[in-house]
Amino acid sequence: MTRLMTLIKKNLLRFIRNPKTLGFLIIIPILYYTLLGLIFGGIDFNDTTSTFNIGWVDNDPTTADYGIHPQFHLNYIFNTTNDIEGINLYNYSSKEEAKQAALEEIISSYLLFPNGFESYLENNSKINIAFWNNDTSTSTNYSIFDFYSSLVSTTYTMFDFNYYDYITGTSILSNFNDYNYDGMLIINPNFMKGLDNSWNINMTYIYRNGTSISENYYIIGSIQTLANNHFHTLGAVSNVSIPATYNYMVPDSNPFESVSFEVYFLQTLSPAIQATIENILTEVISSIINNNPLEIALPHEKKSIVGTVVNNITFSAPGYLLYGPMTILSFALIILTGEKKDGIYKRLATTEAKNWEIILSSIISNIILIFMQFGIGSLILGIFGWSPIIYSLFDGILGIVITMLLFSFLLLALAFALAPVFKSPDSAGGGVWIIIIPLAMVSGIFVPIELFGETMKAIAAWLPTRFAVVALQNLLLNGFPLTHPETLLNFGLLMLYSAVIFLIGIRAFNKFKK
């Protein structure tokens, strides 16, 4: 045991004493992770996936008038959206059913349309205005009812007027929040008399809190035009107007409550793809429902199917965190080939040190370094917003320890197997990157595998390093417990690969040592 400890201590002392090694072990990972944090902490990837399988849950019992507004019908929206290339929609009767389909990876996301969605669209497709005739004066030439009729029958289909006399109008105004009006057009007292005398022909337009200035301008402008067209045709000389002083917000009025649909995503879906799906769907649905000048807002909420919504760093961290440790493969190879070249193994072989002690000390020293790399990575990614989603602290920590131990074992098995291939530290130092870079790329260490094409995904599924990435994703992204079958399966496969490579590697290495 003392001898093993001495060998480990010696290995670590050599790392610390060599400035190049120290730089390699500390400065490079710090730089790497800082750059990753800076680059991916705020910028999304470009999407490369072309087909999205999306669930559709219609929980809305309300129905828009199909004859007038077919585009507000969720069935119509479903069919039109489903016709778009690259989008495959699947209908589900409930949120639970859709969630199950997502967990089974039939779909990657689903849309949930709540109660009142179609009514919301229909209501928001018109401007509902209360017409309050607050004028008790009369005209010999003009009729207020004719004017109201002309407004109702206008070709501006987005307006919907409801008439109230001077008594009921007061009640509507005082209980404005109880009605579904965007605003109220008030025929001011002496309006009719004014028409006859060509003076004081003003109206008032009051609007609901939350109505935009541009919408108000549009409404006021339209009403003024309609009124003047009507009265001028009948011989009126003066213009009817809604002066600025007669345009204000209904006191204490509340804005309309919007009805949002919800977009649920699997956490394993990269934020970039989530954003892509979200943008495509909102754009498509908006373009279906909006066929009038006043755009209906399409509020929606983005949610995660399991747990919370993840950012780019959190999504990609399980892969990134394995890159630092993976570089130890190069380091281990340089040491193994270097010690052989320098005759260290030969000298140690003549001492009482046993072969297993020498190999185990090398494994333990490198495992310490691998954990150090993981620590540096975690710390820096944490600064840039990495927020692991774990089942429990115990599962998270123990899961990381097990994954890193197995990953270390795999890397060192590879180092032992590759040492006889490269022979010298110079060729090992450079040559090993021919293996590290593609292995890291295809395993999804650099770039999330979700952005790969199907062929590359299939290749990645067979790589041992991929099992480590998936195990960490399950533990740190999906919030799976340590005992989750998928995590255990990845541990098992990683262990199996490592054991096979280790047996081959150690055999080749023992031969190489001599």
Partner 1 sequence: MIQNKISSNSQKRKIAIESMNVKKYFEDVKAVDDVSFKVYQGECFGFLGPNGAGKTTMINILSCYLKPKAGNAFVMGFDVEKEAYQVKKHIGIAPQENIFYEELTVYENVMFFGKMYSIDKKQLKARARDLISKVGLEVKQKVKAEKLSGGMKRRLNLIIGLVHDPDIIFLDEPTAGLDPQSRRLLWDYIFELKSRNKTIFLTTHYMDEADVLSDRLAIIDRGKIIAEGSPEHLKETIGKGDLLSIKIDGERQKILKSIEELKVNDYILDAFYHEEEMETKISAMDGVGRIGKIIKYFTKNDLQVIDVGVQRNSLENVFLSLTGRSLRE
**Least Å distance between CB 412 and partner 1?**
21
The reply to whether 507 sits near partner 1 by the rule CB under 8 A is: no
Site track for partner 1 across 11-40, x = CB under 8 A: --xx--xx----------------------
3-state secondary structure at position 273 = helix
> In sequence order, which residues have a C-beta less than 8 Å from that of residue 344 and are 6 or more positions away?
none
Tell me how far apart the alpha carbons of residues 385 and 94 are, in angstroms, rounded to a whole number.
Answer: 34
Length in residues, the chain: 514
Q: Is 348 in the site for partner 1 (CB under 8 A)?
A: yes
The contacts of residue 120 (CB under 8 Å, 6+ apart) are 258, 259
- Among the listed residues 26, 158, 249, 344, the single contact to partner 1 using CB under 8 A: 344
Give min distance, CB of 11 to partner 1, in A. Answer: 10
Pairing of β 109-113 and β 52-58: parallel
Q: What b/e string do you get for 171-210 counting C-beta neighbours within 10 Å, with b at 16 or more?
A: ebbeebeeeebbbbbbbbebbbbbbeeeeebbbbbbbbee
CB nearer to partner 1: give 26 or 349: 349
Interface with partner 1 by CB under 8 A: which range of 150-158, 262-270, 285-293, 350-358? 350-358
Can residue 245 be called a binding residue for partner 1 (CB under 8 A)? no
Which member of 50, 350, 454, 455 binds partner 1 (CB under 8 A)? 350
> Which of 157, 346, 383, 394 is close enough to bind partner 1 by CB under 8 A?
346
380 touches 37 (CB < 8 A): yes
Task: Please say whether the beta carbons of 363 and 56 come within 8 A.
Answer: no
CB of 369 vs partner 1, minimal distance in Å: 15
Can you tell me the distance from the alpha carbon of 401 to that of 310, in angstroms, rounded to the nearest whole number? Answer: 23
Find the Cα–Cα–Cα–Cα dihedral 218, 220, 223, 228, rounded to 10°.
Answer: -110
Does position 511 interact with partner 1 (CB under 8 A)? The reply is no
Q: Which stretch, 25-33, 339-347, 370-378, 452-460, contacts partner 1 (CB under 8 A)?
A: 339-347
Nearer to partner 1, 349 or 495 (CB): 349
Of 67, 104, 485, 514, the one binding partner 1 by CB under 8 A? 514
- Residue at token pair 């260290």: 344
Choices 1-9, 171-179, 237-245, 311-319; region in contact with partner 1 by CB under 8 A = 1-9
347 binds partner 1 (CB under 8 A): yes
We find the least distance from the C-beta atom of residue 425 to partner 1, in angstroms, to be 13
Q: How many CB atoms lie within 10 A of CB 259?
A: 19
Question: Of the ranges 287-295, 342-350, 466-474, 485-493, which one interacts with partner 1 (CB under 8 A)?
Answer: 342-350
Cβ nearer to partner 1, comparing 284 with 344: 344
Q: How are strands ordered across the β-sheet holding 247-249?
A: 159-164, 127-133, 183-187, 203-207, 247-249
Report DSSP state, residue 264.
E
Contacts of 196 (CB under 8 A, 6+ apart): 139, 140, 141, 142
Nearer to partner 1, 172 or 368 (CB): 368
In the complex with partner 1, the residue whose CB is nearer, 20 or 245, is 20
Nearer to partner 1, 352 or 454 (CB): 352
Measured from the CB atom, the residue of 133 and 361 that comes closer to partner 1 is 361
CA dihedral sign of residues 290, 293, 294, 297: positive
The structure tokens 């965190």 sit at 321
- Which lies closer to partner 1 via its Cβ, residue 85 or residue 352? 352
Note whether 10 binds partner 1 by CB under 8 A: yes
- Nearest distance, CB of residue 403 and partner 1, angstroms: 31
Name the residue nearer to partner 1 (CB basis): 205 or 512. Answer: 512
Q: Tokens 């689903």 identify what position?
A: 110
- DSSP symbol at 239: P
Q: Which is nearer to partner 1, 58 or 339 (CB)?
A: 339
Residue of 86, 343, 430, 453 that binds partner 1 (CB under 8 A):
343
DSSP labels for 35-77? Answer: HHHHHHTT-PPPP----EEEEEEE-------TTT-GGG-HHHH
User: What is the closest distance, in whole angstroms, from the C-beta atom of residue 495 to partner 1 in the complex?
Assistant: 32
**Minimum CB distance to partner 1, residue 356 (Å):** 13
Residue 3 as a binder of partner 1 (CB under 8 A): the answer is yes
Stretch that binds partner 1, among 141-149, 186-194, 336-344, 403-411 (CB under 8 A): 336-344
Applying CB under 8 A, does 193 fall inside the site for partner 1? Answer: no
C-alpha of 48 from chain center = 16
How far apart are alpha carbons 514 and 355 in whole angstroms?
12
Pairing of strands 109-113, 159-164: unpaired
1 belongs to the binding site for partner 1 (CB under 8 A): no
In this structure, are residues 272 and 316 in contact, taking their beta carbons and an 8 Å threshold?
no
The SS3 assignment for 424 reads coil
Segment contacting partner 1 by CB under 8 A, of 183-191, 351-359, 458-466, 503-511: 351-359
Q: How far is the CB of 358 from partner 1 (least distance, A)?
A: 10
Total residues in contact with partner 1, by rule CB under 8 A: 20
Minimum distance of partner 1 from residue 360's CB (angstroms): 14
The interaxial angle of helices 433-443 and 312-342, nearest 10 deg, is 160
Alpha helix (H) residue ranges in 198-270: 213-233
**Binding interface with partner 1 (CB under 8 A):** 2-3, 6, 10, 13-14, 17-18, 342-344, 346-353, 514
